[in-house]
Amino acid sequence: ELKVEQNPLFLSMQEGKNYTIYCNYSTTSDRLYWYRQDPGKSLESLFVLLSNGAVKQEGRLMASLDTKARLSTLHITAAVHDLSATYFCAACMNYGGSQGNLIFGKGTKLSVKP
Amino acid sequence: DAGITQSPRYKITETGRQVTLMCHQTWSHSYMFWYRQDLGHGLRLIYYSAAADITDKGEVPDGYVVSRSKTENFPLTLESATRSQTSVYFCASSPGPWHYEQYFGPGTRLTVT
């Protein structure tokens, strides 16, 4: 059974600081997704990581995937208040002959303070 | 408007009643999904559909029914609502299978009293 664990679940940062959110998954998954959710809003796709060693960057966010370690990271550089949101990672559980399910982590609630 | 929409956005119903949540997308995406979001659980997949008339169970399908007679619509029905089904429900669509990006609707907040 695929399990996805994120840590930390809550993160309070100061503006200008760097930090990393970790996403561990328990069984083989060849793709990893990162989403952002603002309070009361829907999910916005940030990154789709499709292979071992994949690295993607958008603005102050950079995501990477290590399939051997079953670990993805979301690195935040020089945080700004606008990055305050909840961030979810999701891994894909592959069934034989099926498309599989996306299994989400519980989310990391990020608060960036001045 | 183009995109993915859900209706209603908010719904309060009583235990035992049947409720249908609607999802409509204008991209002609073949894949559509229903998730529920609960505090402490993240998002969990209820049902998904690979094409019209093709649906399959996700992680938490009990108590829900889906249909997909047209590519653009994917309604979710709670046949006899229970308090444990109080949640925020998100519909999503994707142009392809799981390695493709999924686009989420605005969500429906359902309260079962």
Domain ranges of chain B: 4-112
DSSP-derived letter for residue A81 is G
Cβ atoms of B55 and B49 within 8 Å: the answer is yes
Cβ atoms of B49 and B66 within 8 Å: the answer is yes
- Domain locations in chain A as residue ranges: 4-113
Distance from CA of A105 to the nearest CA of B (A): 6
Taking the Cβ of residue A41 and every Cβ of chain B, the question of whether any pair is shorter than 8 Å is answered with yes
pLDDT value at position A100?
59
- A–B: how many Cβ contacts below 8 A? 56
Mean pLDDT of A65-75: 94
Taking the Cβ of residue B5 and every Cβ of chain A, the question of whether any pair is shorter than 8 Å is answered with no
Contacts of B92 in chain A (CB under 8 A): 43
Cβ atoms of B81 and B15 within 8 Å: the answer is yes
DSSP-derived letter for residue A60 is T
Residue B58 has pLDDT above 60, yes or no: yes
Cβ atoms of B6 and B108 within 8 Å: the answer is yes
pLDDT value at position A94?
63
- Please give the CATH topology (third level) of the domain spanning B4-112: Immunoglobulin-like (2.60.40)
Rounded to 5 degrees, φ, ψ at A55 are -135, 130
Give tens-digit pLDDT for A9-19.
999 999 999 99
Give the closest residue to B91 by CA, choosing from B17, B39, B29.
B29
Give the whole-number percent of chain A exceeding pLDDT 70: 93
Tell whether the torsion through CA atoms of B65, A103, A11 and A81 is positive or negative.
negative
Cβ atoms of B89 and B110 within 8 Å: the answer is yes
Distance from CA of A72 to the nearest CA of B (A): 16
pLDDT value at position A97?
43
Please give the Cα distance from B18 to B26 (Å, whole number).
27
Residue A99 has pLDDT above 70, yes or no: no
The minimal CB distance from B104 to the residues A4, A42, A48 is found for A42
Contacts of B107 in chain A (CB under 8 A): 41-42
Position A45 confidence tier, pLDDT thresholds 50, 70, 90: very high
Query: How do A85-93 and A32-37 pair as beta strands?
Result: antiparallel
Contacts of B103 in chain A (CB under 8 A): 45
| More confident call, A102 vs A65 | A65
pLDDT value at position B12?
98
Mean pLDDT of B15-20: 98
- Please give the CATH topology (third level) of the domain spanning A4-113: Immunoglobulin-like (2.60.40)
Taking the Cβ of residue A43 and every Cβ of chain B, the question of whether any pair is shorter than 8 Å is answered with yes
Taking the Cβ of residue B97 and every Cβ of chain A, the question of whether any pair is shorter than 8 Å is answered with yes
